[in-house]
A and B are shown apart, each in its own frame.
Chain A
Amino acid sequence: MSITSYNGSALIAMVGKDCFAIASDRRLGVNFQTIACDFQRIFKIHDTLYIGLSGLATDVQTMHQRLQFRHKLYQLREERNMRPETFASLVSAILYEKRFGPYFCEPIIAGLNEDGTPFICTTDLIGAKQLSKDFVVSGTASESLYGACESMYKPDLGPDELFEVISQALLSSVDRDCISGWGGIVHVVTPGQVVTKTLKGRMD
């Protein structure tokens, strides 16, 4: 089995009206064996910036630690939080540093700009940035996820509707993938608050 499908993962980020949602599955596995059902794949960088990392679990954790370190340093020097586009460029640069021995993870970045408009983008494992207006997906179930998002997504959804759409897209896609699923977690972020919900999904 390929190294990027060793642990299994599924991630989506979607844009709504002045809000965004980012969701992931919770499984950590070793090939077909499920080890844990509470693995964290989405990390908060600051109140309105989240990063989700799919792929090899050890690289997910290392990438998170490195990015958190760099952002804390930025906060100390600049005395403010990083903007989402800046952070995306940082992620891209860190991944390209390892061009000939890459981290086996594919991040999705989701945040709110200073004017409250949502920003999402994804990169491949060596840092190629890809901005999107509607949704980005990543993980072993990515083909299913693209299909589900394409058919379920509508622009300018409010936070509650966005939560429903992203949850249904995630659950229906991971139910067609042997190595992702076992629950889900969704963060819906608006300028004033973050609502985090866990999803009750199929545990097989």
Chain B
Amino acid sequence: MLDFSALEPPTLHSLPSSVEPHLFAAPSFQLPAVADLDGFQKAAVQMVKPAKGTTTLAFVFKHGVIVAADSRASMGNYISSQSVKKILEINPYLLGTMAGGAADCQFWQRNLGTRCRLHELANKRRISVTGASKLLANTLYSYRGMGLSMGTMIAGWDETGPGLYYVDSEGGRVKGTRFSVGSGSTYAYGVLDTGFNWDMSIDEAVELARRAIYHATFRDGASGGVVSVYYVGPAGWKKMSGDDVGELHYSYYPVQEAPAEAEMGEA
């Protein structure tokens, strides 16, 4: 394990580990007591390995950051839920997205929220998006190879303006202005890249994000359910819409009165 004590925020007094040790210590997990730990870990990774069946996206534009996601959870071909919250509210000005293992994303992003709050208390100011994403990335790096599966975007607004980072369970962390993560990401990119304009209004940006996720749910079997769109501005995040994709399809493409569909002709 690398020594990160130098990166801990400076404090006037020594860490009050005697007072509330569980708040400051990193969560610790017991390792299984098996002879072949590597083999066991490998099998565990395969068992837990969800295929990142989802579509999430986030982009920066003139007025801030838009974050959008679908709401389907799939276990193989089975749809286990159509109403999963994939945009996690870390604090009133920071959002995280969920792709990969639901448990991993929920736990570590809540843990990130805790550490961001501790940073605020220790430094009397909010943590930056850069700092928050770095905290998460460092945590995930220390669990590298142990089978965590997360492809998450950290989006927020701090003193430097809008911020967007992509952080994943391989330990990667990239700053950017446009990301889409998940099995439906390629379809979302197609719509997003074509329709993007830096000077869009907030409503236009929200509609672009909604459309991009909708198209991904149409083409990708592992994405679906409800499209949620959030906007992050100077005052923090705001949920802009949550539309059921089943109904959204027919509002974009109404059923036309057509004669009997052309069927495959006799061979």
Contacts and interface: CB of A to CB of B under 8 A. Distances in A.
B186 to A, nearest CB: 9
B74 interface: yes
Interface in A21-62: 29, 31-34, 38, 40
A175 B53 CA distance: 16
Residue in B78, B221, B246 with the greatest tally of chain A CB atoms within 10 Å: B221
Contact of B221 (A34, A64, A65, A196): A34
A5 B245 CA distance: 24
Interface stretch (B83-91, B105-113, B259-267): B259-267
Given A33-B221, A34-B219, A176 B264 contact: no
A4 B53 CA distance: 20
Contact of A40 (B221, B223, B264): B264
Given A200-B255, A203-B246, A140 B218 contact: no
Nearest to A42: B263
Contacts of A29: 221
Contacts of A75: none
B77 interface: yes
B249 interface: yes
A66 to B, nearest CB: 10
A178 B225 contact: no
A33 B74 contact: no
Nearest to B264: A40
B152 interface: no
Interface of B: 53, 72, 74, 77-79, 82, 183, 217-225, 245-246, 249-250, 255, 260-261, 263-264, 266-267
